[in-house]
Amino acid sequence: MRARYDWVLLDADRTLFDFDRSEQMSIRQTLRHYGIADDQETVERYLQVNHQVWAQFDRGELAQDRLGRERFARFLRLMEVEGPDPEEMNLYYLNGLARYPYLLEGAEELCRRLAPHCRLAIVTNGLTAAQTGRLAASRLRDVIGHLFISQQLGLQKPDPAYFSKVFQTLGIRQQDKARTVIVGDSLSSDIQGGINAGIDTIWFNPQGKKSPDGVKISCIAPTLEAVGEFILNI
């Protein structure tokens, strides 16, 4: 079988990993550890703060090395809780994420199906402690040989410079880009990143969102099975 691509760059959260499930488990565990109620209302408050902080990061208003501490500092102020150190709390939470390496349905099957035909790498804007620990604890650790984390590279998707570093490490030359693809759920970081880097894009879109006008997407896949079928020319 001749696959459509030699290199497949895979987003991590909400493409391979069930981040929402892991996040719920880890934040509840963190709240309990620090003596804070872990009811759904409190969890929702954390999620709201976390969303705001990541939005600032995406706009370039907040450095990634400040992101983790800042979200818990704001959350503690919102909850009017004194005592816990935000940096320590964030580290406990990140370690918790690594303890819950839940995969999305079909993620392991996709990677094992592709591995004999393509070389696989993860490209993520996530935080180093969570991403390295979670991959190491997951069932994907033996099929994905490369992990590129924005915090380590000092760059993030969709910046072309991020992909330049990835390509340099993997030995992907200009002429190899036609046989390289990125798979991800985010239009702003994964799909736009692939477009910026000059490679094909597969939008993993299980919610069936409307395709935006004027954005060139090589494939829109409602399932991870469909991702595999496109890559393998089935």
- Catalytic residue list: 11, 13
Pairing of strands 146-149, 219-221: unpaired
Q: Which amino acid is located at 162 in the chain?
A: Y
Q: Cα-flanking dihedrals φ and ψ of residue 49, to 5°?
A: -65, -45
Between CA 80 and CA 11 the distance in angstroms is 36
Residues 218 and 181 sit within 8 Å (Cβ to Cβ): yes
Rounded distance, CA 103 to CA 135, Å? 10
Mode of pairing for the β-strands spanning 146-149 and 180-184: unpaired
- DSSP for 14-31 reads TTTB-HHHHHHHHHHHHH
Sign of the dihedral through C-alpha 11, 14, 17, 20 = positive
Spatial distance between the Cα atoms of 163 and 160, rounded to a whole number of angstroms: 5
